[in-house]
Chains A and B, each alone.
Chain A
Amino acid sequence: MSPKRLARGRVDPVELVPVVGKELGSALRARASTVHVEPDLSDLARRIQAAEDNPRPRGRLALAAAVVLSAAVAGGTLGSLLGPTHPQHALFSSIAGDQGGRLPGGPGHSRPHGRANNQLSAPRRLSRATVIKRVTGAGTSLAAYGTWLAPVAVSSGTAATSCHRAELVTTTATEGGARGTATGVVAVQPLAANGLELVDSGALPTPAGRDLWWATVAVGTRVARVAAEEPGGTTDVMFPAQGIAVLGGVAPSSATSRYFSIVAEDAAGQSLHSIGFLAGSGQEAVGTSQSRKAADPLVPGCESVATPVMGATARGSKPAAPLLAAASVVSAFHQAYNFALPADLAENLAAVASSDTLPGFGQSTRTINQPSKSATASAQAVDVSQVVFLSADTAEVIYRAGSGRWRTGTAVLTGRGSWQVARTTFCGDVANGFPLPGVVRPSLERICSR
């Protein structure tokens, strides 16, 4: 319907609004529908990291920032105190995982994938990268993003997970205006060569009254082809990429839960393994447990499966973004317990809750910034094996220094939005013989005794 043609200069807004407005809405939707983009979490993580590394003073804060900067320049001590206290200092460094300055998916990025070759080099920090993006023959868009969980396992619901090096895979499926996501964990311990394991699945109704379903599976090295089958026949096929396959499609509605078989085949087309599952039901797949190698040794660095059993279970709400929060917790522990020399205690203590209000903090920092020439302690690394969120602002953490014994500590969410090591945890370690470089122990003991 065209707007009524009027003489030049004459306006008929009463008529204009419904005509132009209606057509405009349709035209804009048609135009917008030509834009197809996929979320890019790696890029988002990098931007968040950059924003946190370079916070921009805004408005009236600019003056305060200028004062702080002047003070920092004028007095080295104050500068050293203020320097490392950026909120969420290392939150996204963990997610971005730009080890060696490279970003996931960027040039030179080598995605460690122990599933395929058993050469485990999972980074100690989390990295997120697209594993698969594909459109099925029926037009369903599928994407899987992988996030490495280094030696950390994040609890979900009320069950504390065991510690594996693992990869969190988030799958999104889009079809005809419906979009679903599901997340599962792929253990790095390699599957048997013929292995097939369900990572996640889902099903949801589309606006057209059909069901969008999808399933993500991990496969062993011999698996060359994966097919999803239902009683009506094969519905989707994929050649696995990096040990993962994502299958999906649309089907007539059946209360958003459908039974599928997924069959793994080798290069010759011979069936190796199959599993059955109800997409969207949340039930375990049938047949999965047979696919993992029974005799696989634990992955080096994942000894935490034998570490103290976490007594805690999640009893409250979890953080809004548990994965990001877990990364922040891990970063806080690394920052607090990593004592490279000469030790800048201010940076360590910036990751400890309430430490900046302690009397004597500045004095101790100055002392440590002038290390004894005889100090020979080396940087002390810390391993975090497990994070269980007890509530939205408290997490229980299993960690250790070097090859020491595993301990249980607490992390808390600060008012600034970043996670820090609880003061009781940190000072408890100082008092109880946590391996610390000798040069820093006296200062930390003074701080913690106050």
Chain B
Amino acid sequence: MARPSADGAVDPGLAVVAGARPSFEELYLSSYQSLVRLAFVLTSSSELAEDLVQDCFVRLHRHYDRLDTPDRYVRQAVVNACRSHFRRQGRERDRRPLLYVVDGEAASASSGSHPGELHDLLLALPYRQRAAVVLRFYADLSEIEIAEVLGCRPGTVGSLIHRALQHMRRSLER
């Protein structure tokens, strides 16, 4: 009957239905919002996020019966779809709005006071750095899990996150 999902209050990553492997429809219904939010964090557009997630479920539907962990598959598909979107659009940094121009006072006062500011800083990062940071700090994935999603070594994940945070820090200092 009722099936609780782990769609937690803070939408942590994409843990979907616990226990038995969910049906395609169950997985879709239970994980749709959290996946859209993940895509939104990566793209800053909820409309685009919904579009990408729907397309990812189309791909998932094609392979669903052959997948042991469809939730992981679709999460990875969403991250890759966001990357593909930016690739199609060319240089994403040319396309995204520039960072807020933050002066020293504002920077020191704004940290944590405006969720959108850190998000905008994030959106200025190269995609792989951005994805690594989002998967680490938003989705709370381990470096090994992030490496699986991004298709790289775990050591590379640490490097990506380190460089991303350095970049953000420099931006805050300007």
Contact = CB atoms under 8 A, between A and B. Distances in A.
B64 A321 contact: yes
Interface in B130-150: 133-134, 136-138, 140
Given A25-B138, A320-B65, A322-B23, A202 B2 contact: yes
A129 to B, nearest CB: 15
B115 interface: yes
Contacts of A25: 137-138, 140
A28 B25 contact: no
A23 B10 contact: no
A365 to B, nearest CB: 28
Interface string B50-92: 1000110110011011000000000000000000000000000
A4 B161 CA distance: 19
Nearest to A323: B25
A33 B8 CA distance: 11
Contacts of B62: 51, 417
A48 B116 contact: no
A50 to B, nearest CB: 8
Contacts of B104: 5
Contacts of A322: 23
B138 A2 contact: no
Interface residues of B, number: 65
- Main DSSP-derived SS at the B contact region: helix
Contacts of A30: 115
A172 B30 CA distance: 9
A201 interface: yes
A346 B76 CA distance: 39
Contacts of B108: 2, 5
Contacts of B49: 35
B88 to A, nearest CB: 15
Interface stretch (A13-21, A227-235, A399-407): A13-21
A6 to B, nearest CB: 7
Given A29-B10, A321-B23, A324-B24, A2 B112 contact: yes
A276 to B, nearest CB: 17
A360 B9 CA distance: 62
A203 B166 CA distance: 46
A21 B137 contact: yes
Contacts of A182: 1-3
- Main DSSP-derived SS at the A contact region: mixed
A17 B174 CA distance: 18
Nearest to A200: B1
B55 A47 contact: yes
A22 B173 CA distance: 18
Nearest to A92: B61
Given A17-B165, A36-B33, A178-B4, A28 B137 contact: yes
A31 interface: yes
Contact of A177 (B7, B28, B140): B7
B46 A37 contact: yes
B5 A179 contact: yes
Contacts of B137: 21-22, 24-25, 28
A37 B39 CA distance: 12
Q: Which of B4, B5, B9, B161 has the most CB of A within 10 A?
A: B4
Given A44-B57, A320-B21, A417 B112 contact: no
Interface string A176-207: 11111110000000000000000011111101
Q: Which 10 A-B pairs have the closest CB atoms?
A: A202-B2, A177-B9, A25-B137, A32-B37, A27-B115, A39-B32, A30-B115, A321-B24, A2-B111, A27-B118
26 contacts: A1-B111, A5-B173, A20-B169, A21-B136, A21-B165, A24-B118, A24-B133, A25-B138, A28-B41, A28-B134, A29-B12, A29-B138, A32-B41, A32-B138, A38-B32, A43-B54, A178-B7, A201-B2, A203-B2, A204-B2, A207-B9, A256-B2, A280-B1, A320-B24, A320-B65, A417-B65
Interface of B: 1-5, 7-12, 21, 23-26, 28-30, 32-33, 36-38, 40-41, 46, 49-50, 54-55, 57-58, 61-62, 64-65, 104, 107-109, 111-112, 115-119, 122, 133-134, 136-138, 140, 161-162, 165-166, 168-170, 172-174
